[in-house]
A and B are shown apart, each in its own frame.
Chain A
Amino acid sequence: MLTSSPKLIFAICCSVTVAAAQSVDPAMLLNPPVDSWPTFHGDYSGQRHSKLTQITPASVHQMTLAWAFPTNQTQSIKASPILVNGVIYITTPDNIWAIDARTARQLWKYTYPMNDGFHIGHRGAAVYKDSVFLTTPDAHLLALDARDGKVKWNVVIADSKRGFWSTMAPLLIRNHLIVGVSGDFDNLPGTLRSFDPDTGKPQWTFNSTPPVGTPGSISGGSTGGQMWMTGTFDPGLNLLYVGTGNPTPVLNGVARAGDNPWTCSIVALDPDTGKLAWGFQASPHDTHDWDAVEIPVLADVDFQGTPRKLLLQASRNGHFFVLDRTNGKSLLTTTFAAVNWTKGIDSQGRPIPNPEKEPHRDGRLVAPNETGATNFRQPSFDPVAGLFVVSAADGYGLYFFKDDHGAYGWAGADYDVTSHAAIRAIDYQTGKIRWSHDIGEGTGAAGVLTTASGLTFTGDVGGNALALRTSDGATLWHATFGRMNNAPITYELDGRQYVVMAGGSSLYAWTLPLPAAAQRP
């Protein structure tokens, strides 16, 4: 594959010149080439399953470091790298770097002015034509020139003075740039907005809970339901799928009777209008901060003998949901981690909360803990193996609520007891755990990537990057370069497959070693 032939090198150079820049446009996003990772999930499905097969279970132990890129920030990298046109874009709160994907040389860096939003983390950028988009801690959306990082426009997504902030990697669907916000320290309506990627002009707003006092509101007095993770998209059905966060007040369920739709839900929206097509509540009447924002993974596969359009989610509340994504109807609900808060599953496939496990004055022992059975860390679905691989945790927490805690914002108290983490492979047709790979005491922070060669890349609690065999979870490779707080990505450049993972505040690219002959100048 690799050669030092001058003729071939010349040919490659020429083709790059002629082809000009790789353009991210609606057509490209429908079928991303292997030398790109153009969106948070890599594609619209959220499967994080790469068709690349150069690195195999037999060769993965030979992987060698191609480059490292330290951001020199005190914050760790939580963002997905975005790769387009041979350039990687990586973010931390207020910061974005453009680096050469072949050398890790910095092309430019942009730093947003000091601001008062929460600087808790950042999930990544988005790219469209010659623009790179960045959300900010004070809930602005910026378009930067992809070539030099100059600001083209800057618009407000939501008012940070009211308690909104944003960490989200935007999702581009045709001419809609879709961004969400966070904000459960205040009683705020769940807000997802669409902007014109060329001009920054607002297009629509979807509220998962209506503003307080809205006549005819179905939310039962609840606010919240923020949409702070990037959604997925089915171009055939023209539906955008997004998970919504917890209701507010967070731990006080007394102030908001009923199920509190559409908090802790998966919602299907028309990306052209923001109108709700259907909703499915993962946690009706949540009182434990279990956002259902985990990735709604889309797959067109057989389900118990019938070809189906599925939506799969491993949810923070400990349940694995399989839905028919054409209509939101439940096909399967099981648990994939320790769960003690339900009285069973209702006829719609939703867990039934046990009132005894609501936060109470005397403290209630609840599994999962507040961090959840899983969380923002992305899962992966290998459709050939039929396995949904997720970073899970069996955790317990103590939950308190009394009237003194009030009905605003957090409105309660909770304390972690303990948690044990594992990478789990779920058989999507039965919900059964095929294998569980212990990753330590505490909670993992790394997402998962699977490849068509049968590999699973992820990280453990302590700071090891791992390559596992997808079929049985056996460890095939590991390297210790700092705790991984993002999900690995992979791509092929110049005929070589790379796997890029973060350790702490640095990015590391791994690849198979070149044959000795190819190393000669």
Chain B
Amino acid sequence: MIHRTLVLELAVLILVISPLPAQQGGRGGPPAQSPASRLPPKTVTPQTYPADQIQAGESRFISQCGFCHGRDAQGGESGPDLTRSPLVAGDVRGDKLTPLILAGRPAAGMPAFSLPSADIDAIVAFIHDAKTKTESEKGNRRSVDVEDLQTGNAEAGKQYFNGAGGCAKCHSVRGSFATVGARFQGLALMQRMLYPRNRAPGATPGLLPATVVTNANGQTISGRLAYRDEFTITIVDANEWSHSFPVATVKIEGDDPLREHTEQLGKYTEKDMHDVFAYLQSLK
């Protein structure tokens, strides 16, 4: 490999990861439950729109948004189901959606859209109408329900967790980890079990071990890993200051804190994965 990767000492992992701190709300942290495995949040302020505006909005939505979010706004190739979005549920006539559409979410892969305001208003009308229609539907064609996932054996999962899986090398079942099955449900728990990403802006602080950068003078700065490529590393310290360093000039520890999770993905059998999931569900 060309790219220098420093091995994270196991001892550091054990010290910092265990136990997992409690999920903290606010700052746009990851949702406790995947939108796809619960009922869609109800619209806070019911809104109605003229039929012709909804129709115009549908056509604009399909052309600009449909590939990622689906033509019916229920999710597409890469974008989430908007009818289950808390942001849409809390939106009143575009007060939250319009600025988001105009600015995009570049970090999440959503571009900014420079559309005329009439088009954006129509798109907002269509999204709310699509959401109203979904709320009256019984099922959802892209739904994943908690009961769908119950094919594992918790006892076998516990054995794998403590034995062959090697999970217990880093995780001990105490503190908040002992209630992980109460704090996360369904698909969200499964996704988190497989890869508890914390790279997104606003991710729960302290969930993963700090990344530590030491410069040529021996000065050390530690914090949350915000960016890493082969040339530059950026960490955000406890006071939310961003620090960037040329990779070649510093010593880095802990810049791949999820390495064990990545490697585990290649080892799971379907049975092991569902067993460990059942075990984590039992930790309440």
Q: Is the CB of A418 within 8 A of B141?
A: no
Task: Please determine whether A405 and B142 come into contact, CB atoms closer than 8 angstroms.
Answer: yes
Shortest CB distance B280–A (Å): 14
Bound CA span A370–B79, Å: 13
Complex Cα distance, B75 from A370, in Å, reads 14
Of the candidate stretches B88-96, B124-132, B176-184, B262-270, the one touching chain A is B262-270
Residues of B near A478 (CB, < 8 A) are 231
Cross-interface CB contact of B262 among A74, A115, A420, cutoff 8 Å: A420
A410 at the interface (CB under 8 A from B): yes
Instruction: Please judge, given known A-B contacts A74-B114, A402-B148, A460-B229, whether A185 and B194 are in contact too, CB under 8 Å.
Output: no
By beta carbon, the residue of chain A nearest B115 is A74
- Distance in angstroms from A65 CB to nearest chain B CB is 18
Cβ of B261: which chain A residues have Cβ within 8 Å of it? Answer: 418
Least CB distance from A467 to B in Å reads 13
Q: Interface residue count for B (Cβ, 8 Å)?
A: 55
Interface residues of B in 255-281 (CB under 8 A from A): 258, 261-262, 265-266, 268, 270, 273-274
Asked if B27 is an interface residue, CB under 8 A from chain A, the answer is no
B2 within 8 A of A: yes
Q: Is the CB of A364 within 8 A of B270?
A: yes
Interface window among A345-353, A431-439, A510-518: A431-439
Cβ of B238 under 8 Å from chain A: no
Which residues of A (59-93) have their CB < 8 Å from a CB of B?
A: 74-76
In the complex, the answer to whether B2 meets A475 with C-beta atoms within 8 Å is yes
Residues from chain A with a CB closer than 8 A to the CB of B174 are: none
Distance between Cα atoms of A99 and B91 in the complex (Å)? 43
Surface stretch bound by A, among B7-15, B61-69, B154-162, B204-212: B61-69
User: Which parts of B224-274 form the interface with A (CB within 8 Å)?
Assistant: 227-231, 258, 261-262, 265-266, 268, 270, 273-274
How far does the alpha carbon of A208 sit from the alpha carbon of B114 in the complex, in Å? Answer: 37
Nearest CB of chain A from residue B206's CB, rounded to whole Å: 20
Residues of B within 8 A of A331 (CB): none
Among A116-124, A199-207, A487-495, which stretch is in contact with chain B?
A116-124
Chain A residues closer than 8 Å to B143, beta-carbon distance: 404, 413
Let me know if B2 and A340 touch, CB within 8 A. Answer: no
Tell me, in angstroms, the Cα distance from A340 to B151 when the chains sit together.
20
B36 contacts chain A at the CB level, 8 A cutoff: yes
The complex places the Cα of A206 from the Cα of B255 at a distance, in Å, of 50
Using Cβ atoms and an 8 Å threshold, which residues of chain B touch A357? 270
- Asked whether any CB of chain A lies closer than 8 Å to the CB of B282, the reply is no
Q: Which residues of A contact B78 (CB under 8 A)?
A: 371
- With a 10 A CB-CB cut-off, give which of B3, B111, B144 has the most chain A CB atoms: B144
Please name the residue on chain A nearest to B68 by beta carbon. A120
A140 → chain B closest CB, angstroms: 14
Confirm or deny: A8 has a beta carbon within 8 angstroms of a beta carbon on chain B: no
Chain A window 104-133, contacts with chain B (Cβ cutoff 8 Å), 1 for yes, 0 for no: 000000000011111110000000000000
Q: Which residues of B contact A417 (CB under 8 A)?
A: 191, 194-195, 265
Q: A363 and B142: CB pair below 8 A?
A: no
For A120, list chain B residues within 8 Å (CB). Answer: 67-68
Q: Is A290 an interface residue (CB 8 A)?
A: no
Say if the beta carbon of B112 comes within 8 Å of chain A: yes
A381 at the binding interface (Cβ < 8 Å): no
Residues of A within 8 A of B104 (CB): 74
Q: A355-382: contact bitstring with B at CB < 8 Å (1 yes, 0 no)? A: 0110001111101001100000000000
- Do the beta carbons of B197 and A418 come within 8 Å of each other? yes
- Closest A residue to B75 by beta carbon equals A413
A74, A115, A436: the one within 8 Å of B1 (CB): A436
A396 at interface by CB-CB < 8 Å: yes
Among A115, A289, A462, the most chain B Cβ lie within 10 Å of the Cβ of: A462
Asked whether A464 lies within 8 Å of B63 as measured between CB atoms, the reply is no
Q: How distant is the Cα of A474 from the Cα of B2 in the complex, in angstroms?
A: 7
Interface residues of A in 376-397 (CB under 8 A from B): 396
The answer to whether B195 touches A418 (Cβ under 8 A) is yes
Provided the pairs A338-B266, A363-B149, A404-B139 are in contact, do residues A117 and B191 lie with their beta carbons within 8 angstroms? no
Hey, which chain A residues are within 8 Å of B77, CB to CB? 289, 370
CB–CB A119/B64 < 8 A = yes
Q: How far is the CA of A490 from the CA of B271 in the complex (A)?
A: 50
A490 to B: closest C-beta gap in Å = 23
Q: Choose one: B1, B63, B194; the contact of A117 (CB below 8 Å).
A: B63
Is there a chain B Cβ closer than 8 Å to A440's Cβ? yes
B199 at the interface (CB under 8 A from A): yes
24 pairs, A vs B, C-beta closer than 8 Å:
A74-B114, A76-B111, A114-B63, A115-B63, A116-B63, A119-B63, A338-B266, A362-B150, A363-B144, A363-B149, A364-B270, A365-B270, A367-B265, A400-B144, A405-B141, A415-B34, A415-B187, A415-B191, A418-B194, A438-B2, A438-B5, A460-B229, A462-B227, A475-B230
Q: Given contacts A398-B190, A413-B36, could you give 20 more A-B pairs where the C-beta distance is less than 8 Å?
A: A120-B68, A185-B70, A357-B270, A365-B194, A365-B265, A365-B273, A404-B143, A410-B70, A410-B76, A410-B142, A412-B142, A415-B34, A415-B36, A418-B197, A435-B2, A438-B1, A438-B5, A441-B199, A462-B227, A464-B229
The 6 closest A-B pairs by CB, nearest first: A438-B3, A120-B67, A362-B151, A418-B195, A462-B229, A118-B67
B-to-A contact residues, CB < 8 Å: 1-3, 5, 34, 36, 59, 62-64, 66-68, 70-71, 75-78, 104, 111-114, 139-144, 148-151, 187, 190-191, 194-195, 197, 199, 227-231, 258, 261-262, 265-266, 268, 270, 273-274
**Which residues of A does B touch, CB under 8 Å?**
74-76, 114-120, 137, 185, 289, 338, 340, 356-357, 361-365, 367, 370-371, 396, 398, 400, 402, 404-406, 410-413, 415, 417-418, 420, 435-441, 460-462, 464, 473-475, 478
